[in-house]
Structure 1
């Protein structure tokens, strides 16, 4: 499943409303220009190099060279570590804010992945109801005390989970983070599920006003999510 970030949409109007639609081949999300997409299966290095080159170009050329060099190396190390961590999760795409939004750089990310529902031998489709399957997928990581809700996004069942993840220094998470995941059933393919996972540290507190505003922003992004079809 490939992403499509163009801002144009194709209206599906006229004709028979019951006519079959073309199969889903990808998805479309609208993000501000400050965010960059890092594909994690193909073209990763080109995307990483482009983001780093743009970041390095914003560093004042007349700055102290004994500080610029170490800063660049540390910036590249951290950025590549984030991408490598996302690749280990076998995700599809990583989205990061790579430019300041206003007067500050947002500490947040969006990780897009796919999940396949396991089934017993001989089963054509999962036996459970779609909402139950989505909740089971979210429950795989053992998160408790999460807020769950469900709805519809571009004709697909969507289950939303929100929670605060505690700091886990051993896993590279130095501070707690606010997380929101959307699990969407892929149309016409009951075994495939699309997952968009948003994470932010807010302004240092995952429950502060900045975190609240960013969660609302991500909800708006997902409200405008659309499937791409052949």
Structure 2
């Protein structure tokens, strides 16, 4: 029986994964973007409303709730427009001073188009770099390695503010693009973004980038 279980486990590990797992602090919430989105939004908003101080002026509470819901739904809608799988946001204040982190993690998946002969011969690492550099980010820091046994390329750069796209401030971004085991055309992408304390290269940004790298060290594929 033990031998059969090991054989079944080995077969399962060679098949494409059915999901993934990340370990995040309780201050962060997951918003699925393909199903169950509205339920997650309502749950998060209701929890946020419950933290409004009882002594808050009643004439301020209604507008505050409306603005909070508007901004939150805008962030979710933007992630859905980018064909995201999941969006992670810090929904509770951090620390004794109640500091709110300006950060997010967007999980997406990309499938390579039908490849010509030359692309089919390209090593996976080269394809990953091409995927990460296709939007023309300048001065990006690229490195490669493995995440849970799969090829991964990490890109870090600063994205300029683009007010016309709703991005009012520059942000520090770190992306992991990971080859999906058992399916060479699929790539998993986890993209972290933060405005830090107002400067994408300040100490808070540096600390959050290190934190995200630690989060990605907890990444595991799910099978079955």
Cα-to-partner distance string for 1:63-99 (whole Å, 9 max, x where unaligned): 1111111111000000000000000111100000000
Determine if contact 1:27/1:227 at 8 Å carries over to the other structure. Answer: yes
Equivalent position of 1:21 in the other structure: 12
Equivalent position of 1:41 in the other structure: 34
The CA distance in 2 between the partners of 1:106 and 1:52, in whole Å, is 17
1:204 partnered with 2:198: yes
Equivalent position of 2:102 in the other structure: 107
Determine if contact 1:153/1:225 at 8 Å carries over to the other structure. Answer: yes
Equivalent position of 1:11 in the other structure: none
The CA distance in 2 between the partners of 1:208 and 1:31, in whole Å, is 23
Determine if contact 1:119/1:126 at 8 Å carries over to the other structure. Answer: no
After TM superposition, list the pairs within 5 Å mapping 1:73-222 onto structure 2: 73-102=66-95, 103=97, 104-120=99-115, 126-222=120-216
Cα-to-partner distance string for 1:24-62 (whole Å, 9 max, x where unaligned): 110000000000000000000000000000000000133
Equivalent position of 1:55 in the other structure: 48
1:72 partnered with 2:47: no
Determine if contact 1:96/1:109 at 8 Å carries over to the other structure. Answer: yes
Partner secondary structure for residue 76 of structure 1: helix
Q: Residues 72, 128 of structure 1: CA spacing in aligned structure 2 closer, same or farther, 3 A cutoff?
A: same
The CA distance in 2 between the partners of 1:152 and 1:191, in whole Å, is 17
Gaps of 5+ in 1: 1-13
Runs of 4+ in 1 over 3 A off after TM superposition: 18-22
Q: Provide TM-score, normalisation by structure 2.
A: 0.91
Determine if contact 1:126/1:191 at 8 Å carries over to the other structure. Answer: no
The CA distance in 2 between the partners of 1:81 and 1:140, in whole Å, is 26
TM-superposed CA distance for 1:15, in Å, is 5.2
Bigger shift: 68-77 or 56-65?
56-65
Equivalent position of 1:8 in the other structure: none
Cα-to-partner distance string for 1:139-191 (whole Å, 9 max, x where unaligned): 22121210000001111000000000011111111111000000000001100
Partner secondary structure for residue 134 of structure 2: helix
Gaps of 5+ in 2: none
Higher helix share: 2
Between Structure 1 and Structure 2, how many residues are aligned?
214
Q: Provide TM-score, normalisation by structure 1.
A: 0.89
